Amino acid sequence: MKIMMFAHDGSQNRGCEAIVRSSAKIIKEKSNKAEIFLSSGRPETDKIITHLDKINDGSAKDIKRYSYDWFVSTMRYKLFKDESYALSKIHKNIIQQINEADICLSIGGDNYCYGEQPGWYEIDRRIKRKNKKLVLWACSIGEQDLSEQKLEDLKMFDLILARESITYQTLLDKGLSNVKLCADPAFTMEKEELPLPKGWKKGKTLGLNFSPLVLSKNKESETAVYQLIEHILSTTDLTIALTPHVIKEKDNDFKLLYEYYQKFKQSDRVLILPDNLTAPQYKGYISRMKFFVGARTHATIAAYSSHVPTLVLGYSVKSKGIAKDLFGEEKYVLGINELSDSDKLRAEFNHLLENEEDIKKSLEKSIPQIKKMSYKAVDYLNEIEI
C-alpha cells in the first residue's frame, strides 16, 4: 500500500510536523507493508521527520504572466469562470505525484476551517479521476465552514476521519455517510527530553503559548495575556516558560512571545524556549510542566497527552471538540471572543489551579482511550479496498 500525504505546508508549524510524524508512525505500526511519502509545500523543513519513505516537493507554483498557461487560464476564467486549468498548473507538483500512490491522505487537520479551498478541491478531483482512494485524515470542520462547494468536495472522499466528536456530528448532520470518528494522531507522539533551561523550576513551571493567529482574530487578547502573566507572577510562585510552537515567517509564535519575555524577564521568573526545537522536543518540555496555557492546538495536545492540566485559548471547533472528548464537556477552553476579557481569563486560570488534581485524574483516565481512537483511524484506513 503506497500512501501520499498532501495538503501539508511544512514543519515550521510544529503541529503539522506532529500530525505527519505521528501519523506515519501509527500507520506503519499497524500496516507494516505501507510505503509513505509526503508531498510538502516546504520539503526542506520536513527532513526532521522519521518513518517517511520519501519527501517530495509539493509547493505551489506561480503562473508566469503572459506565458501560454497564463493566457489559457485567463481566457478560460473570462469565458467560463473556470479556474480548473489555472489551479492544475499551480498545484502541478502534487498532481504529478498522484500516480505513485494507492491512497491519498489530505492531512491538514484544519485546512477546511479557513474559507474556500479551490486548490485542494482541484487536487481532490484529479485524485478521483485517476481512481485513487481519497481520505481526509484527522480533520476538524465547523458548521460555519461548510459551504455548498465544500460539501460537494467532501462527498468525493472515500473516507473522512473526524478527530473530535463535534466535527463528526456536524458532518453526519449534513448528510455525509463517509465519516468515522477518531482522535488526533499527535496524542500518540513520543516526547524527547532535553536538559532543562536556566531558570526552570522543577514542579513549579507553567507553560504559556500564544499565537499571532489568535491575536489577529482578537486584538485585545494581547493585553489580556499580559495581565494574565502579571496575575500569575503576583499570586503564585510559578515560573513561566513561554513556549512557541509555530515559527513560520508570517506566523511566528516566538516573535510574539519574545515581546512578553522582554517585558517580564527582570522578574527572573519568565523564560522563553528556543524557536528551533522539534515537536517531540517541545513535548519533552511541556510534559514536565505543572500547568499549560496555550493557543496552538498541538501544543495543548502535547500537554493533555502528558496529563498536564491545560487551559486552551481556543479559536475553532477543534479546541472545543477535543476538550469535550477528554472531559465529557467543553471545559477549560476559552472562545476567541472571550480572550479579551481579562477578568474571565484570570478566573479560568484560577479554576485550573483549584482543580489540578481532578483534571490530572480525568486525563489519566481519558488519554489511553483517546490514543486508542488515534489508532482506530489506521483500522479504518486499512479497511479501504484498493
pLDDT digits (tens, 9 = 90+) for 332-361: 999 888 988 999 999 999 999 999 999 999
Mark whether 104 and 146 lie in a shared domain: yes
Mark whether 159 and 29 lie in a shared domain: yes
Q: Give the whole-number percent of the chain exceeding pLDDT 90.
A: 91
On the 0-12 / 13-18 / 19+ scale of CB atoms within 10 A, 129 is exposed
Query: What one-character DSSP code corresponds to residue 246?
Result: B
Residue with cell 467532501: 154
Taking the complete model, does pTM exceed 0.85, yes or no?
Answer: yes
CB crowding 174-209: b at 16 or more within 10 Å, else e: eebebbebbbbbbbbbebeeeeeeeebeeeebbbbb
CATH number, domain of 23, equals: 3.40.50.11720
Mark whether 124 and 245 lie in a shared domain: no
Q: Is residue 89 part of a domain?
A: no
Q: Is residue 167 part of a domain?
A: yes
CB atoms inside a 10 Å sphere around CB 230: 15
The 8 Å CB, 24+ separation contacts for 330-335 are 332/359
CATH number, domain of 227, equals: 3.40.50.2000
Closest C-alpha to 142, from 109, 186, 120: 109
Question: Which amino acid does the sequence have at 290?
Answer: K
Q: What average pLDDT does the structure give for the chain? A: 95
As a whole number of angstroms, the distance between CA 275 and CA 289 comes to 18
The pLDDT of residue 385 is above 70: yes
Contact 135, 384 (CB under 8 A): yes
Model confidence over 206-217: pLDDT tens digits? 999 999 999 998
Give residue 280's Cα distance to chain centre.
14
Instruction: Please give the grid coordinates belonging to residue 309.
Output: 492540566
Q: Is residue 41 part of a domain?
A: yes
As a whole number of angstroms, the distance between CA 196 and CA 215 comes to 29
Residue with cell 466528536: 165
Which pLDDT does position 267 carry in this prediction? 97
Query: What one-character DSSP code corresponds to residue 207?
Result: E
Contact 244, 254 (CB under 8 A): yes
As a whole number of angstroms, the distance between CA 139 and CA 7 comes to 12
Mark whether 163 and 222 lie in a shared domain: no
Range name among 48-62, 99-113, 176-190 with the lowest pLDDT average: 99-113
Distance between terminal CA atoms of the chain? 8
**Crossing angle, helix 148-155 and helix 118-129, to 10 degrees?**
30
Mark whether 171 and 214 lie in a shared domain: no
Mark whether 179 and 267 lie in a shared domain: no
Q: Give the whole-number percent of the chain exceeding pLDDT 70.
A: 100
Mark whether 323 and 247 lie in a shared domain: yes
**Structural domain span for residue 146:** 2-58+97-189+371-382
Closest C-alpha to 270, from 304, 245, 234: 234
Task: Give the mean model confidence (pLDDT) for residues 11-21.
Answer: 97
Which pLDDT does position 110 carry in this prediction? 86
Which pLDDT does position 315 carry in this prediction? 67
Mark whether 185 and 117 lie in a shared domain: yes
Contact 141, 170 (CB under 8 A): yes
The pLDDT of residue 108 is above 90: no
Contact 260, 314 (CB under 8 A): no
Phi, psi of 285 (to 5 degrees): -75, -45
* Sign of torsion over alpha carbons 308, 311, 316, 322: positive
The pLDDT of residue 293 is above 90: yes
- Count structural domains, the chain: 2
Mark whether 175 and 304 lie in a shared domain: no
